[in-house]
A and B are shown apart, each in its own frame.
Chain A
């Protein structure tokens, strides 16, 4: 009995360790602040445990957890004014964007915790044009106010918004390309 319990706890710990980052990132993506993401991540795992749950392939488990998280978010958003309300179309578009960025719909959950995306993003950042890279660095790394970034780059606030938007778009396409390429390479895991 004790052995069974211990094994069960190990299984649960492994499940959490493997997938918590993905669930947390997904909840942040939906619009949770960090503290709420913490809470809903926990509740996601508890909700899964409360139901008959069987682990299968990691990508299927990740998808299942993600959809459970989405379900929980949709419940909470009705009451929590801090959370943005997502209509079905928005969710669909967000889901599609998530899938594409994480390796395409066929392998949507292959990057179970998002670490691969981070690695690819780092590579793509290095390949940016100096001006765009500077804008990203000032905005995200140095957390400079928009006015300061615009001033440093000698552009207006509107131009900075456009520059950041295009740069993020470039980065996204770059990451998607790399993720897709990686997933279609012969010999890739589970290919």
Chain B
């Protein structure tokens, strides 16, 4: 809510609190109902209420009112902190855990490396990996022992024997995932994939460009990751089938050499699992809260950015350029109109529509609300990056033929037409999908009727 200058300048806490309630009172910022989400997360961790209210003396340690709650909260000595487990659908906890894992792994590597090899991983001159960004307690910075040598029992991972999971990942492969000596989470450049005629990748991890990876050395974390993965497969909309992941942005590799099991994971929807020459495809959960996907995303955004690496798909950060789609001279009444789609707060997408001096700002959308938008952002960012490197403007010249158009009809029957310039076929497809989404959004928020119906002939003709 920038309109009230909430973060533009410091205001006193009481003022800020009233500000928040005013925002809520006027229809924004209402607390969501997180009951189901929290219950699912608790169930995934096996957490439950342990006592019946009133049957035991109250716990006095943490809830007790100290005079200086604030300082106590900072020291966090009496408040039970979250454990270093992953919270199932929870981005921040995953971030914290994987960050800790990354630092621990780095510490372990440096511990084992000869001194002369320190800094080989792109951080020369640093005496150490620095303080852990988050952790369960004050002992976080203590070097940890090397990775454990125990293995997981694959039969103890929830969902392992589900039909869909077995179709996607046979039992023998599951055993490798559970017991392999190494378990790596890998970030892929989504634009590096080789494509077949359908625009899909070939599913082979080796075919993609790796831009970073985390070694998951803690068995509990590996278990949690596999648990979430299996759950995501089970909750997927479709049964496993022979398809591979287009636009992969993540991968998991367990083991090495011929015995490795590799999983290439698309932006949300699908995954290819490979063992030797055999490849199996499967769909993952498409829900907004798909915890497995969030886990992967959080891993990217924490550890790798802390290492100074910004994956190209990391579109939630400020560093990523905003982008804009300009309508051309065919705009209604000859005025230049534009959609301005840019990244907002973390996880939010801001969309503005401009015609002349008139600007319509739509309520921020959660990035995770739409696979479509996620895909768009991946492609748009890549497009921007390449265009910028080549010295190109994002939009083509105003005299170029429009690729397709958007029509919006308001309640009075007035139709506005906007024509868009698309640089390539991929963007065409994606932006068309985006506009369809926008039309839905407009209808949902304004009640206005929207019509988006360009034909290929119209698009090519430039009508």
Contacts and interface: CB of A to CB of B under 8 A. Distances in A.
Interface of A: 5, 7-9, 11-13, 15-17, 20-21, 24-25, 28-29, 33-36, 38-43, 45-56, 60-61, 63-64, 67-68, 70-72, 74-76, 78-82, 84, 88-98, 100-101, 113-114, 117-118, 121-122, 125, 136, 139-141, 143-146, 161, 164-165, 168-169, 171-172, 175
Contact of A9 (B23, B27, B33, B48): B48
B45 A46 contact: yes
A143 B366 contact: no
A144 B17 contact: no
B388 interface: no
B35 interface: yes
B59 interface: yes
A72 B80 CA distance: 10
Contact of B58 (A60, A91, A168): A60
B92 interface: yes
Interface in B296-349: 302, 306, 318, 345-348
Contacts of A35: 345-348, 366, 368
Contacts of A84: 7
B42 A43 contact: no
Contacts of B27: 141
Contacts of B16: 29, 94, 97
B300 to A, nearest CB: 14
Contacts of A40: 92
Interface residues of B, number: 83
A121 B89 contact: no
B21 A121 contact: yes
Given A35-B347, A88-B70, A168 B15 contact: yes
Interface in B1-34: 1, 3-5, 7, 11-27, 29, 31-34
Contacts of A67: 62-63, 69, 72-73, 79
A36 to B, nearest CB: 7
Given A43-B92, A49-B47, 15 more contacts: A21-B31, A36-B347, A38-B32, A53-B51, A56-B54, A70-B73, A76-B92, A76-B96, A78-B134, A84-B7, A93-B12, A113-B31, A121-B25, A125-B25, A168-B19
B113 interface: no
A172 B11 CA distance: 13
B90 interface: yes
A84 B48 CA distance: 32
B346 A36 contact: yes
Given A11-B53, A79-B95, A146-B3, A171 B42 contact: no
Best-buried of B20, B54, B79 by chain A (most CB within 10 Å):
B79
B462 interface: no
Nearest to B3: A143
Interface of B: 1, 3-5, 7, 11-27, 29, 31-35, 37-39, 41-42, 45, 47-54, 56-59, 62-63, 65, 68-74, 76, 79-83, 85, 87, 89-93, 95-96, 99, 133-134, 302, 306, 318, 345-348, 366, 368
A39 B86 CA distance: 12
Given A33-B346, A121-B18, A42 B37 contact: yes
B26 A140 contact: yes
Contacts of A11: 49, 52-53
A175 B18 contact: yes
A157 B334 CA distance: 34
Nearest to B51: A54
B366 A42 contact: no
